[in-house]
Amino acid sequence: MAIAEPPVVQAEPPPPPTRRSARAITWARRRRAVAAHWRVYRRNRQGMWGLAILLIFIALALAAPLLVDERRLEPAFSTGIPFQPPSADAWLGTDKFGRSMVDLLVYGARISLLVGFTATVGTMLIGSVVGIAAGYYGGRIDALLNAFTNWFLVLPWIVLAIVLASLLGATLFNIILVIAITSWAGTARLVRAQTLTVKERPYVERARALGAGDWHLITRHILPNVFPVIFANTVLTVALSILSETTLSILGLGDPNSVSWGVIIEESFSSGALTAGYWWWLIPPGVCIVLVTLAFTMCGYALDEILNPRLRER
């Protein structure tokens, strides 16, 4: 039987040993580093508990539109009976507009986490720019920025936040802005200190001798080495930002149109839930805040133990 000979395929010449780009090598190294850190992190019970709690809340916040009809949160469209204790219909009772507490809490997770994350991004952005500029350029720039940072460290944050929030007006964006403005100084100091040590390392000097500019040095050498140190701090900052938002909301400076957990607490307080005994309106949002803050703090401590070389020995 004649089987048609398969057409002779010209075997491709083996690819010449390509040189991997420097970037590919860097990323491969970073992937390995992250994997190695993850193996250490996974053994940290505290950190894993924190991570688990966080993932649940983040999933809840992301899935909120699928779980809850957003229109039911509009006071005008709410069909429930106000001030109902927990029942089969509303597992955690209802608030003064008859909105289900479960619905409110699920959407509250969205707002509170959003504020926590974006305020942290703002804090880190301002803190990193100021800290790196001060540490990297040194001299007069450092003196000026450092003095500025130290001044901001002594401003009593809550009073400053109250003043800013009441002058700017209570919108979600302003609250995020206020939190970022009042909390960047600690990060800046941390970043500056780390930049100062990284700057003196031989490879930075070598890169500079090879003609690397400031931008290249900062983005390729300083930033990647500062990042691990501030990462743990970042996670702790999210916890603080959520607490700050709650504090501002309790003082009546929250955005009434975006019902965060803090706003729920304020509404229950100002509607007399304490004297009327509407515990289901007051307790659950606070418990959510405690859980999320605790989770972020636990993750932050675990990361600090892994990433902070000073603590690693112990």
Partner 1 sequence: MGSQRYLVRKVLHAIATLLFVVAFNFYLFRIMPGDPITILARSQHLSRADIAEQIANLGLDKPLPQQLLIYLGDTFRGELGVDLRSGAPVSQLIAERLWPTILLVGISTVLSIGFGLLIGIKGAWQRGGLFDTTSLYTSLVFYSMPEGWLGMILIVLFAGLLGWFPAGQYESPADLTGFAHIVDVLNHLFLPCLTLTLGYIGEYAIVMRSSLLEVRGEDFITTARAKGVPDRDVRRRHAVPNALLPTLTLVFYSFGFVLGGAVVIESVFSWPGVGRLTYEAIGELNYPILQGVFLLSSVTVILFNLAADILYGYLDPRIREG
Instruction: Give residues in contact with partner 1 (CB under 8 A).
Output: 147, 150-151, 154-160, 162-164, 166-169, 239, 243, 246-247, 250-253, 262, 265, 269, 274-275, 277, 279, 282-283, 285-286, 289-290, 293-294, 297-298, 314
Cβ nearer to partner 1, comparing 53 with 207: 53
As measured in angstroms, the least distance from the Cβ of 171 to partner 1 is 12
Q: Which residues contact 199 (CB under 8 A, 6 or more apart)?
A: 135, 136, 222
As measured in angstroms, the least distance from the Cβ of 276 to partner 1 is 9
Cβ nearer to partner 1, comparing 239 with 303: 239
As measured in angstroms, the least distance from the Cβ of 93 to partner 1 is 15
Distance, CA of 285 to CA of 262 (rounded, Å): 7
Cβ nearer to partner 1, comparing 256 with 277: 277
Cβ nearer to partner 1, comparing 124 with 264: 264
Q: Find the DSSP H helices in the chain.
A: 22-42, 45-67, 101-137, 139-154, 157-168, 172-199, 202-209, 214-216, 223-248, 261-270, 273-276, 279-307, 309-312
C-alpha distances in Å from residue 62, one per residue of 6, 107, 288: 54, 9, 16
As measured in angstroms, the least distance from the Cβ of 261 to partner 1 is 9
Residue 94's φ and ψ, nearest 5 degrees, are -130, 165
DSSP 88-142: SSSTT-B-TT--BHHHHHHHHHHHHHHHHHHHHHHHHHHHHHHHHHHHHH-HHHH
As measured in angstroms, the least distance from the Cβ of 181 to partner 1 is 11
Q: Give 189: exposed, middle or buried? Use CB within 10 Å, 0-12, 13-18, 19+.
A: buried
Cβ nearer to partner 1, comparing 124 with 240: 240
Cβ nearer to partner 1, comparing 141 with 274: 274
As measured in angstroms, the least distance from the Cβ of 163 to partner 1 is 5
